Amino acid sequence: MAVGALDNKNVIAPIQVSDGYWKGVLRRLMRDPVTMGALIVILLLVLMAIFAPYLAPADPFKSSMLRRLRPIGTPGFPLGADELGRDMLSRLIFGARLSLFMGVTPVLMAFVIGSGLGIFAGYVGGALNTAIMRTIDVFYAFPSVLLAVALSGALGAGIFNALVSLTIVFIPPITRVAESVTTQVRNRDYVEAARASGASGLTIVRVHVLGNVLSPIFVYATSLVSVSMILASGLSFLGLGVRPPEPEWGLMLNTLRTAIYVNPLVAALPGVMIFITSISFNMFSDGLRSAMDVRA
């Protein structure tokens, strides 16, 4: 810049104009190819689940004794056929519906209940906090797989019971994260500053605690979706979740396991789907964490 320009009163220093928190998060997400890739995979899976009837080349329930365990690439069966001669591709497409549902729903319910409980415990503190958190710790003591199996076993098989038991499994870890983040936020200067400017307890929780606490809990919850999917698959595998002949990836893995020596590639396909979905959710949650960090 010419020296003379410095005297010009019209020169305005460029100011970085911020365009809102969520726009900033979105902009940072867009710049991250791995996260965007994971997001695209997740969106494709969701679209596949929604439009399953239009996408599936065959009826996923139609069995045929003559076409059992066809290998991948058989004409009419692009991904082979399962142990009852049903089209694998169609079953995998339809399976996305239940598998995604079982992956997302328990986490969503646990997110609502767990963050409510954790924020309450963290904000109130004292003896009530101890009571809530120690109760939560009791659940935390069990390995999550064991707890899920035990709960579904006690409640009985079925999709609804599997959802309930998975929700119960995810409440403790989410509550814990919510409680620890809230305890940190509660002691921050801006909470005291808000109190010093006349904010009521409710306003502080609603505006300052929720505003600062929800995104870390949300990021943590997204990372649980893959765990939930795997656990739900496990429950189905054990015969505690989805019941045959309903297509669900975990259940398909279970029923195909007898064919692992006959046609290992076909038997592995549901596992591949579970793997792709869970790794996409994990990578997305990782990217989301860094994109949401305001002070980065």
Partner 1 sequence: MTGTAAPIIDIRDLTVTFIGGRKPVHAVNGVTLAIQPAEVLALLGESGSGKSVTLRSLLGLHPPGRTSIGGSIQVAGKDVMALSGRALADFRGKTVSMIFQEPLLALDPVYTVGAQIAETIQRHEAVSRVKARARALALLQKVRIPSPERRLDAFPHEMSGGMRQRAMIALALACNPQILLADEPTTALDATVQIQILLLLRELQRELGLTVILVTHDIGVAVEVADRVAVMYAGRIVETGPVREIIRNPRHPYTQGLLASRAHGAMTGSRLDAIPGSPPDLADLPPGCSFAPRCKHAKATCVETAPEIRSVTADHWMRCMLDAEAAE
Looking at 21, 44, 57, 279, which residue binds partner 1 (CB under 8 A)? Answer: 21
Q: What's the min distance (Å) between Cβ of 129 and partner 1?
A: 13
Q: Is 3 in the site for partner 1 (CB under 8 A)?
A: no
DSSP string, 4-24: GGGG-TT----------HHHH
Please give the structure tokens belonging to residue 111.
């997110």
Looking at 2, 17, 66, 138, which residue binds partner 1 (CB under 8 A)? Answer: 17
Site size toward partner 1, by CB under 8 A: 28
Would you call 81 helix, strand, or coil by DSSP?
A: strand
Whether the Cβ atoms of residue 174 and residue 110 lie closer than 8 Å to each other: yes
**DSSP designation for 263:** -
State the binding string over 186-205 for partner 1 (x if CB under 8 A, else -).
--xxx-xxxxxxxxx--x--
Q: What's the min distance (Å) between Cβ of 281 and partner 1?
A: 25
Using left for φ > 0, alpha for ψ between -120 and 50, and beta otherwise, residue 220 falls in alpha
Bridge partners, 87 (sequence order): 81
Whether the Cβ atoms of residue 88 and residue 81 lie closer than 8 Å to each other: yes
Looking at 115, 165, 175, 212, which residue binds partner 1 (CB under 8 A)? Answer: 212
Nearer to partner 1, 18 or 65 (CB): 18
Looking at 10, 16, 75, 160, which residue binds partner 1 (CB under 8 A)? Answer: 16
Q: Which amino acid is at 205?
A: V
Site residues for partner 1, 99-158, by CB under 8 A, read 126
Contact residues toward partner 1 (CB under 8 A) are 12-13, 15-18, 20-21, 126, 188-190, 192-200, 203, 207-208, 211-212, 294-295
